Structure 1
């Protein structure tokens, strides 16, 4: 049971989204990803679709703006490595990061429709939780009845403070 959207479709959608945001002038785009982000460092198909789309559209945007071969010919590109170290290079215009940092995941381990995700839904989108509809036939959701607002509010407070800290970098 569940819905699956092919990562190629997500990549196409994300490319259109990022293209249009760059086209109208956005240069500080942050996308926080949660589903299957416990392997974010190595990547899973869906988060990689968004991460790839970000780089593809930045390259395409720079090609359109500066012309083919901009990387080697544009004197401004000579500052790329210094800008990269400072986080001001064009490839930092779009950041795709996990919603929960490794530190947050250590305290509230990610699951799939279990205690953690159900609690997070209770905290962030309570209208999306109706425990009367709980069905224990799926192994991954067996701990959903443990979801509670104390856990939810502690996780939410930590996640929001952590996101604020990460956004200020």
Structure 2
């Protein structure tokens, strides 16, 4: 269910039933001459739309304005939009804090951009990860007061944490393609892997007529892309979403 279309009684139902709340998180970045600049975010949006057909979920309006960086190409004439992590973190904290105030306890930001080193992190996901933690601490201190963790009411914290009952899981950030997909599906930038994903999920984002206009090494494999290969990647991503987005 799209958050912007929900009525208050539907929001209360989602809270009561602990539906996953998903934020498609991404960037606007140059992806060669043959592919739309919104590819990274579109991949998240379109797979969540498929997931929405299977299970109850709230999908927040997508956030496209992450830290694309100019590592791939300068922005002039290519379309990359760069908003640095230091600017993203305050926004993200306020967003997550607001969602916690509403009553949501199952919030997930999902990102595809620069996730090949997700454990170490990159500017966008690091900003949102840190913001999630800050929002949780801030919310708990507001609700429970200073010294909340050291109170006797928290004596079972470590046991509950081991069982998975962890309020730090109220806000999480995940890669769209988990590490388990490495070696099973091509991870690239605007090459066969990403182009195939778009052919399967959002074919209007690819124009094969511009393959020949590419001159960069990272796009060399793009002409070999296919919707069939993309569908294999989508199936793996869907399995990942089924694991992380639980009610």
Distance 1:17 1:130 in 2: 35
* Structure 1 match to 2:196: 119
- The aligned counterpart of 2:156 is 79
Q: Alignment partner for residue 152 of structure 1, among 210, 213, 230?
A: 230
1:132 aligns with 2:209: yes
Q: Determine the structure 1 residue equivalent to 2:169.
A: 92
Range moving further from structure 2, 123-132 or 6-15: 123-132
- For 1:38-90, what per-residue CA distance to the aligned partner results, in whole angstroms no more than 9, with x for missing partners? 10112122211111111110011101111122122x32322222222222111
Instruction: Identify the range of structure 1 (137-146 vs 31-40) with the bigger mean alpha-carbon deviation.
Output: 137-146
**Per-residue deviation, 1:109:** 3.2
Is it true that 1:17 corresponds to 2:95 in the alignment? yes
Relative to the length of structure 1, the TM-score reads 0.89
CA RMSD, Structure 1 to Structure 2 (Å): 1.9
Cα distance in 2, alignment partners of residues 163 and 92 from structure 1? 16
Q: Could you list the structure 1 runs, at least 4 aligned residues long, displaced by more than 4 angstroms after superposition.
A: none
Partner of 2:113: 35
Write out aligned runs for 1:53-72 (5 A). 53-72=131-150
Q: Structure 2-normalised TM-score? A: 0.62
Q: 2:239 aligns with which of 139, 161, 167?
A: 161
Which residue does 2:122 correspond to in 1? 44
User: 1: CA distance between counterparts of 2:130 and 2:220?
Assistant: 34
* Whole-Å separation in 2 of the counterparts to 1:129 and 1:17: 32
**Cα offset, 1:92, TM superposition:** 0.8
Name which of structure 1's ranges 107-116 and 127-136 shifts more when overlaid on structure 2. Answer: 127-136
* Alignment match, 1:110: 187
Flag the 1:79–1:20 CA change in 2: closer, same or farther, 3 A.
same
Runs of 5+ in structure 2 lacking a partner?
1-72, 74-79
* Structure 2: distance between partners of 1:151 and 1:37: 20
